[in-house]
Structure 1
Amino acid sequence: MKILFLNTTGGYFGGVEQNIALATKGLTERGHICFFACQKNSAVEQQSFDALFTSTWNLGTVPLDSILAQTKPEVIYVHKFDDIESVRRVSKNIPIVRMIHDHDLYCPRRHKYYALSHKICTKKAGIGCYLDLAFLERGPKGIAFTSIRNKLNDLNENRKLHTLIVGSNYMKGELLRNGFSDGQIALLPPCIAPFAEPPKEFPKENTILFVGQLIRGKGVDTLIKAFALLKNRYPFPVTLEILGTGNDLENLQTLVQEEGLTEVVKFIGWVSHDKLVSFYDNASIVVVPSRWPEPFGMVGVEAMLRQRPVVASKVGGIPDWLEDGKTGFLAPSTEAQAFADKMLILLQDKKLAREFGMAGFRKAETAFSFATYCERLETILMGGNL
């Protein structure tokens, strides 16, 4: 089968592009021919990314209809792409399958929680988005106006697609809420890059680990407050390692100082995926304290593949992979005391922490394996059972 991937960006720019690369490797190994077209190249490991495909194009220089004439794909596989109407216009009878990676399609604010109250939104996209100031967005030059009407029109264009792939039951529910039919939605959790090394033994040191962007929606402030509460109750040395970068870094560093935690909280910065494994292996607990409804939450599954227990917010797609009381603990988002209580249990009961880690490993190896992902994706792209 010939497959044309479409995305805004080329190269190993972020998680979406990592997903495309992994899917391409798996589909190529299964005998399919993969092409790629994007609106711009990121220049991040561009050559190695482009080498995965039979051919690649930049839509700024080669129009899509010309690419379709050259490749004659049997399916167009769209990822992050704003102008879906232009794809539909030139695709003719070629099926279009789109993977929805985040909340951008059905949430004009993109975060799926309210700007002022920070409570999770449970409404469909519509006139109410104006009341939540969704016509404003943060750009490189500060706050700018954006068109909600255009976003609602794009949502309507996406309702006409053949198939939409989502990573969690939460995202499927949001599409159903916004007028998509159950028959056009396929559930496929994101592929997790396999680790080359087997997991290491549980560490003797007590280290709590966060991996992700340092933005308000990730709830790192809640984690720091929970860690402060934990330190007051746990008599042994324990460290919090925070991996990632983002626009909330300075606020979080100030919070650490205010809580008197500068000696035990380490801001590591950005770490490449191949180096993450050592941080997972050195961790006693991995925490996902998101206040926004995570579309899925891949960090948690990666932690499970390293046999580490997870404490995470009960929001979005997280309950799809975290079994409360079996592979870790779920806690109400933004409740620091609840997170502190759950982390304390796992620090005090290392046997339970190991049991959770092993149960998570077994689940991740079966439900979220790379082979399972590729087989399911192949079936969906070939028009099989959703």
Structure 2
Amino acid sequence: MKIAILNTLYHPYRVGGAEVSVQLLAEGLAGQGHTVSVITLHEGRQPSVEQAGGVTLYRLPVRNLYWPFGGHPSRLRRLLWHVLDTYNPLARADVSRLLRQIQPDLLHTNNLAGFSVAVWDAARAVGIPVVHTSRDYYLIHPNCTLYSGERNQDPRSLSCRLFSLVRKWRSHQVQHYVGISEHVSELHQRLGYFRQAPAEVIYNSISQPAATPPRASDKGTVLGYMGRIEPAKGLETALQACRRLGPGFSLRIAGKGDSAYVARLQAAYADQDLTWLGHSAPEAFFPSIDIMLVPSQWAEPLGRVVLEASSYGVPVVGSDAGGIPEIIRPGETGFACPAGDVDAFVAAVQRLARSDRTLLREHCLAWAAQFSGERITARYLRAYQSLDGTQEKPLPATQTTV
């Protein structure tokens, strides 16, 4: 098949797990002999083309007021950026020209910030069916997270309904809908998106790491946290839990955040056995811990780090927010606790610390194998193949260079 995959960012750009998931899918499809093109954005002012991992990358400039990943634009510029991103005709024209050039069998859209839902109409105009995967809350909330003011936002609020009106309306252009969790899929469908499209849940894939031995447990129980250091991620729940657990428990923290916020946490919990690592590669981090903590306050669409921990045989205590509890098997690969409930996190950690670590490790590794690239790629191929017969006759291709 000739497959075009569209996502806001692609390696080496990354702001979250979506970029990793899209790259694994694109390279997995290419590895099976499919012709894969990725359409993505970059900071440059001109389009560019390159080859990487068996995939052809078409990088387009952002057709809006500014590059949205960095800097501090004024509130007015941010407002105007989001207004144009509601339906961006310039991005539609760019993608339409590119699709005429590539002539794929289908377009698989993912994160759309910077492109807008106008790309669905671009595909329709050239007779190409669309599969869409929701990996964030872009269609519902302007910051893509549904989290603002240190709390989860109500997607039924007037502001969200007004913001999403055009996006919901254009979602009828999608022929097949995928959510990366039951939480994400059910939320979008309940709000009225993709009413004309078959829907399914396909979880993210993870790289299967080389086998690593379990950590020697002669120095107590080592807890771990990996992610952005910000209130939405709930690190303070982990810090408070570690304090209550007392001697014999330590916490390794991998991630970066606002320097003032990090400094405040370091000062407030200076009496604890903490190791602040900054950025840490998964292959170095996970073998150094016994239990992973994922205490997110916000409703994460999935929580990729949960699966990554499982792939190293590390059980997880996570919050019950968003898609996180869907990928934890209670008592086998960890526990899900109410977000912010320190007592529940402490009890879950104590229970895992008393459990048979060898058995926990076996359960985690077996669970993670269900999310291999081969399995998830096969699921997407079935979704693509379900589009047979829905493709409209393409318009004549035009000669376009990028």
Q: Which residue of 2 aligns with 1:127?
A: 158
Q: Which residue of 1 aligns with 2:140?
A: 106
Q: Measure the CA separation in 2 of the matches of 1:60 and 1:216.
A: 30
Q: Which residue of 1 aligns with 2:376?
A: 373
Task: Please state whether the residue corresponding to 1:207 is helix, strand or coil.
Answer: strand
Q: Measure the CA separation in 2 of the matches of 1:8 and 1:239.
A: 38
185, 207, 229: which one pairs with 1:214?
A: 229
Q: Which residue of 2 aligns with 1:65?
A: 96
Q: Measure the CA separation in 1 of the matches of 2:366 and 2:314.
A: 11
Q: Give the residue type in structure 1 aligned to 2:379.
A: R
Spell out structure 1 runs of 4+ moving beyond 6 A: 46-49
Q: Which residue of 2 aligns with 1:269?
A: 278
Shift in Å, 1:345:
2.5
Matched, 1:240 2:251: yes
**Contact 2:142-2:163 at 8 Å conserved across structures:** no
Normalising by structure 2, what TM-score? 0.79
Task: Please state whether the residue corresponding to 1:201 is helix, strand or coil.
Answer: coil
How many residues align structurally? Answer: 349
Q: Which residue of 2 aligns with 1:88?
A: 121
- Write the deviation string for residues 235-289 of structure 1: whole angstroms up to 9, x where unpaired: 43x3211111123x53344234334435x21211122xxx312211111101100
Q: Measure the CA separation in 1 of the matches of 2:215 and 2:50.
A: 35
- Write the deviation string for residues 277-326 of structure 1: whole angstroms up to 9, x where unpaired: 22111111011001111111111111111111111111211121101222
**Contact 1:12-1:18 at 8 Å conserved across structures:** no
Q: Which residue of 1 aligns with 2:20?
A: 18
Q: Measure the CA separation in 1 of the matches of 2:183 and 2:373.
A: 22
Q: Which residue of 2 aligns with 1:293?
A: 299
Task: Please state whether the residue corresponding to 1:58 is helix, strand or coil.
Answer: strand
Q: Give the residue type in structure 2 aligned to 1:172.
A: S
Task: Please state whether the residue corresponding to 1:97 is helix, strand or coil.
Answer: strand
**Contact 1:199-1:305 at 8 Å conserved across structures:** no
Task: Please state whether the residue corresponding to 1:379 is helix, strand or coil.
Answer: helix
Write the mapping of 1:150-299 to structure 2, written as runs, cut at 5 A: 150-180=163-193, 181=195, 183-195=197-209, 197-204=210-217, 205=219, 206-231=221-246, 235-236=247-248, 238-247=249-258, 249-261=259-271, 264-271=273-280, 275-299=281-305
Q: 1:310 to 1:86 in 2, by over 3 A?
A: closer
**Contact 2:175-2:197 at 8 Å conserved across structures:** no
Q: Measure the CA separation in 1 of the matches of 2:301 and 2:147.
A: 13
Q: 1:182 to 1:301 in 2, by over 3 A?
A: farther
Shift in Å, 1:47:
9.4
Task: Please state whether the residue corresponding to 1:4 is helix, strand or coil.
Answer: strand
**Contact 1:308-1:354 at 8 Å conserved across structures:** no
Shift in Å, 1:202:
3.7
**Contact 2:27-2:53 at 8 Å conserved across structures:** no
Q: Give the residue type in structure 1 aligned to 2:213.
A: K
**Contact 1:107-1:125 at 8 Å conserved across structures:** no
Q: Give the residue type in structure 1 aligned to 2:367.
A: K
Q: Give the residue type in structure 2 aligned to 1:58.
A: L
- Write the deviation string for residues 7-38 of structure 1: whole angstroms up to 9, x where unpaired: 22343212322222211111112221011222
Q: Give the residue type in structure 1 aligned to 2:368.
A: A
Q: Which runs of 5+ in 2 are unaligned?
A: 64-92, 389-402
Q: Which runs of 5+ in 1 are unaligned?
A: 130-147
- Write the deviation string for residues 179-228 of structure 1: whole angstroms up to 9, x where unpaired: 13385322110111221x20312432321111111121110011111111
Q: Which residue of 1 aligns with 2:32?
A: 30
